[in-house]
Every structure is written in structure tokens, then in C-alpha cells.
Amino acid sequence: MNRRFVLSVAGMAGAAVAAPSAAADITITMHLDYWEGEHGMSFSNGSSGVGSYVLDGVVTAFSSGSAMVVGSSLSSWTSGVSPYTSGYRFVIDASVGAGTYDVNLTDSYGDGWAWNDVSGADAFVVTATGDATVSGDTALSFAGGSSRTGSVVVTPAPGALALLGLAGISTRRRPRG
């Protein structure tokens, strides 16, 4: 078996193994006002979504499709300060597939996620962890009304095996000279 064939086969195998793992790790941070029972949030692209909501101080998070919630937490926004003043920090760590995700923030009372010292300016922030990237509405304000929508584009970083695959496929034999 010649060297060129071996590199090409290794490259195709590497690309095939890397292709299904098109997941990106993201962190969603929400700044909720004190009235946590009013809040709702959905983050979905139809085939893969992360949905979450806070009800009476109890965090409930679920996943569907190919998304996976790695962890979530609810705490006072400012350490040592009552949520009555600073609001709540709700953080979701998730692994999601590549794509465009629709974001829908809701408030059943109709005043957005703003009350007391909470302005609603930093209601929803999504960041990528690792080498993935996020773009679009990565930060949403929610200072009034019953709902706020946006969309976020998640792009996973190419895996090392995918790069090996491209290198193996593109390897050419040099003429001896």
C-alpha cells in the first residue's frame, strides 16, 4: 500500500469520525428580577433545543433533540446582596449543535425582567466556551413588556480529527527530481 493511499484513508476516517461531533459548549446567563415565578425562556432551533424556566425559586431545566444541559444554577445576582434588590443569576451550561437558535424571553406580569435595581439591560447573555463561536443576539435587554425575542448563531470549532482528515485528503505525491 503506498503512502498516499494510507494518508487519504486516514484522512477520510478522521473526517468521518469528527463530523458527527459538531457540538458547541455554551453558557447562557440570565439576570432575572426578584419575582422569579414570572420568567420564562426558550432557546430552540426546532431540531435541537434547550428549554428552561424558573418557577417559585426552583430551577427546572430540560433538553430535547441533540442538546444537552450540562448544569444549571440559580443564585443572587450580587453575592451577599438580597435578590430582592439585585435580582437572580440563572446560569445554564449546555452542549448544542451548530445552527441558528430562536430565543424567546417571557414575563407573565408584563414588566420585563426589570424591577428595583434590576434594569433589564443584561437579561440574557450567551457566550461560547472553548473554541466555538456565537453571533447574532448574544445579549438581549428586556426592560418591559411580556416578551422579547432574538436569535443566536452557534458555530462549533473544527475538531482536530477533521483537520487531520483535510490534511490526509489533500496530500499529494511530489515528483522526484
**Higher-scoring residue by pLDDT: 14, 148:** 148
Instruction: Identify the pLDDT of residue 52.
Output: 59
Range of the domain at 168: 1-21+158-177
Residue 170 shares a structural domain with residue 138: no
Q: Are residues 13 and 80 in the same domain?
A: no
- pTM of the predicted model, to two decimals? 0.73
164 and 142, same domain (yes or no): no
Ranking 36-45, 48-57, 92-101 by mean pLDDT, the lowest is: 48-57
Best CA proximity match to 86, nearest among 95, 94, 76: 76
Whether residues 165 and 93 fall in one domain: no
- Whether residues 15 and 29 share a domain: the answer is no
Range 18-36 burial, b when 16+ CB lie within 10 A, else e? beeebbbbbbbbbbbbbbb
Question: Is 50 a residue whose pLDDT tops 50?
Answer: yes
Q: How many domains does the chain have?
A: 2
Confidence grade of residue 47 (pLDDT, cut at 50, 70, 90) = low
Query: Residues 37, 103: one domain?
Result: yes
Residues 116 and 163 in one domain: no
